[in-house]
Amino acid sequence: MKGSTIFCCAAILSVACSGVSAETRVYRTEARGGAMREVAANFWSALPQGNANTVDLDAAAADHPFTGLGVSIPESSCYLLSRLPAERRAEILRTVWTADGAGLSVARLQIGSSDYSMHAYTYDDVAGDTELKRFSIDPDRRYILPVVKEIQKINPDVTFFASPWSPPAWMKEGGNIAGGRMLDKYFGTYAKYLVKYVQAYAKEGVSIAAVTTQNEPECDQFGMSPTCLWSGEQETDFIVNHLAPALKAAGLQTKPWLWDHNFDGTNRVAQVLAQKGVLERIGAVAWHPYVGQPEWIKPIHAKYPDLPMVMTEMGPHVDRYRRDLLWWGDLMMRTFNSGCGGFTSWCMVLDEHGQPNITGGFPCAGFVELDSVTGEAVPSEQFKAFRHVGRFV
């Protein structure tokens, strides 16, 4: 840990303290403008002076490791970047992925299409192809893989994990990529499908550290976009008896991550974790904050302190793009203090309307906003909060 990060009212402050020299350096990110600069540390002291301005740091009491800050790389973001001149695209990617910018180190990929894709697809849309002879990641070659490889050149140390929004439609009730529930009879085939994805990306030089079983398994988005419903019993069976064994049999180090949905799913997560074979087969529990509060996951962290937990999706809102710096700082600290070691934003780049997305109606904004008229790249308030924390933690 480089220092201890403290969030204060009018701006974000980081206080980097040396245990040997008791040197204190204070950095401030302004709520207006987003500039980060070092400021005078004359209101901090290495010695207690009453209750005011006294911060006690106990390095020995560290609760869980920091695993990094990241952002998702959906097809929509890659499409927008593909339309830019090469140097302009590289400039934006450097802003996100180098220490001089946001300094992100984690990337979330979509397995097949997501709600922020140019069209709905999976890697095998041939009904009944249980041997997966028609499996292909070719749809990702147009926009996603070129951007991923460019990111790797800029920052070779980026860790990738991936999430599916929907299995192939023929593996689901209703036979539609939008909505519907996973059919148990295809668990074995779907585990092989995910293994083939990891292997195909490995051939492209992209190592996938983890896969979540399903993005938001209790949400079908009213049938508007790629989704799939899974019960807790299904997720348990799939991880224990199919996905984890298939990954191991293929000689892959990729770990399944559980849940990948909101804080209000703590009861379901607790029930799944209590099932035989789950703990030893998963690498983490993944959370979203759209419903519930970070503090709701504290009991799970207390019961399973050695089980990593990560925030895997939350990005800016179109209507609040430029006024949420302190809100993001608060959410990040509450999330970390509740047991999560990492925080991944949603779409890396979108335009000023939160486009493109499959339905056209979602209000999500980009980690970086790309003006559709001027081409200007505008960092979000979340970007500024991530940059501030990532610089010192």
Instruction: Please report, for the chain, the start and end positions of each structural domain, with discontinuous segments joined by +.
Output: 4-46, 63-392
Give me the percent of the chain exceeding a pLDDT of 70: 85
Top pLDDT among 253 and 18 is at: 253
| DSSP state letters, 300-341 | HHHH-TTS-EEE-----BGGGTTS-HHHHHHHHHHHHHTT--
Helix, strand, coil percent values for the chain (each to nearest 5) = 35, 20, 45
DSSP label of 50: S
| pLDDT, average across residues 292-319 | 97
Strand stretches in 217-275, DSSP E: 255-262
**Other Cβ atoms within 10 Å of 325 Cβ, number:** 24
pLDDT of residue 22: 54
Q: Does residue 10 carry a pLDDT above 50?
A: no
| pLDDT, average across residues 82-107 | 97
pLDDT of residue 35: 65
pLDDT of residue 158: 99
35 class by beta-carbon count within 10 Å (0-12 exposed, 13-18 middle, 19+ buried)? exposed
**Other Cβ atoms within 10 Å of 173 Cβ, number:** 12
Residue 371 near residue 351, CB atoms below 8 Å: yes
pLDDT of residue 100: 93
Q: Does residue 14 carry a pLDDT above 60?
A: no
pLDDT of residue 50: 54
pLDDT tier at 9, thresholds 50, 70, 90: very low
- Which residues lie below 8 Å from residue 385, measured CB to CB, with a gap of 6+? 12, 29, 325, 328, 329, 332
Q: Does residue 1 carry a pLDDT above 50?
A: no
Top pLDDT among 17 and 194 is at: 194
pLDDT tier at 323, thresholds 50, 70, 90: confident
Q: Does residue 79 carry a pLDDT above 80?
A: yes
Q: Does residue 252 carry a pLDDT above 80?
A: yes
| pLDDT, average across residues 27-36 | 63
pLDDT of residue 24: 64
**Domain 63-392 maps to which CATH number in 1.10.238.10, 3.20.20.80, 3.30.70.141, 1.20.1250.20?**
3.20.20.80
- Which residues lie below 8 Å from residue 148, measured CB to CB, with a gap of 6+? 73, 107, 109, 160, 204, 206
Q: Does residue 144 carry a pLDDT above 60?
A: yes
Give me the percent of the chain exceeding a pLDDT of 90: 79
3-class secondary structure, 274:
coil
Residue 114 near residue 357, CB atoms below 8 Å: no
pLDDT tier at 55, thresholds 50, 70, 90: low
pLDDT tier at 38, thresholds 50, 70, 90: confident
For residue 97 the two structure tokens come to 């992925």
| pLDDT, average across residues 24-41 | 65
- The angle that helices 325-337 and 381-392 make with each other, rounded to 10 degrees, is 50
Q: Does residue 253 carry a pLDDT above 80?
A: yes
Q: What is the distance between the alpha carbons of residues 59 and 89, in angstroms, rounded to a whole number?
A: 40
Top pLDDT among 36 and 81 is at: 81
| pLDDT, average across residues 253-258 | 99
